[in-house]
Amino acid sequence: MPEITISGPDGKFSGYLALPKKTPAPGIVVAQEIFGVNQVMRDVCDWLAEAGYLACCPDIFWRIEPGIQITDKTKAEWDRAFELFMAFDADKGIDDLRATLAHVRGHKACTGTVGAIGFCLGGKLAYLMAARTDADCSVGYYGVGLDELLGEAKSVNKPLLLHIAGKDQFVPKPAQEKIIAALSGRAGITLHSYPAQDHAFARIGGEHFDKAAAETANRRTLDFFKEHLRP
């Protein structure tokens, strides 16, 4: 079944699990956007499963309201998403993602090698996963607030890939420049910039979705996972 229950340090929460056709396989923990474990995140898990990975997206908003699944299509949903974002405790979220990492790593269909990927809020969390957990590698798409977390980079000792949107409305140019200056050239960290793209350019159906840029970023992501998530 796609829905699973994960035990964390503060309680149990749900997650969406997608299995590849061939197992055992490496695993990937998917960190959600601000809209919860919605269809977009489930589709990301299914895409990764099609690529040969065991993919799990946990409900990290469960402490605020379990089971959030909203879209980016209405103002009311955007307003609710930002309320959730403001109420969210990133440190607690990392606790939940760490628990999910352990759950996936111990799954009978997993080889024990597990990476992380995240988008928007999840992109920030993927960066923190690289710094604070034993994930084998991590990928962040247009992570928000990384410029305030650059001190964590010293703890990144596993491969990290970051996709940066050059026209990101939620990550101003000065913040982007600070991130690039601090992380460029660091061993194990790869940065890819997309100068013409806005935030969430890889979200299919989103206002700023760009098919060509998304395909490029996703290809780079899969190549990265293929290199660093070997069985």
The domain containing residue 76 runs over which residues?
A: 3-228
Residue at 177: amino acid letter: E
Q: Domain containing 160 — which CATH number?
A: 3.40.50.1820
**Cα 153 → chain centroid:** 17
Q: Give the whole-angstrom CA distance, residue 80 versus residue 88.
A: 12
Q: How much is the average pLDDT of 106-118?
A: 98
pLDDT tens per residue across span 113-152: 999 999 999 999 999 999 999 999 999 999 999 999 999 9
Return the H-helix or E-strand segment holding 55: strand 54-58
Task: Check the CA dihedral 46-95-156-136 and report its sign.
Answer: negative
List, for residues 23-58, the tens digit of each pLDDT value. Answer: 999 999 999 999 999 999 999 999 999 999 999 999
Per residue in 93-103, pLDDT tens? 999 999 999 99
Q: Token match 């940066």: residue?
A: 164
* Cα dihedral 212, 168, 177, 218 in deg (nearest 10): -30
Number of domains composing the chain? 1
Quick check: 1 pLDDT over 60?
no
Residues noted as catalytic: 168, 199
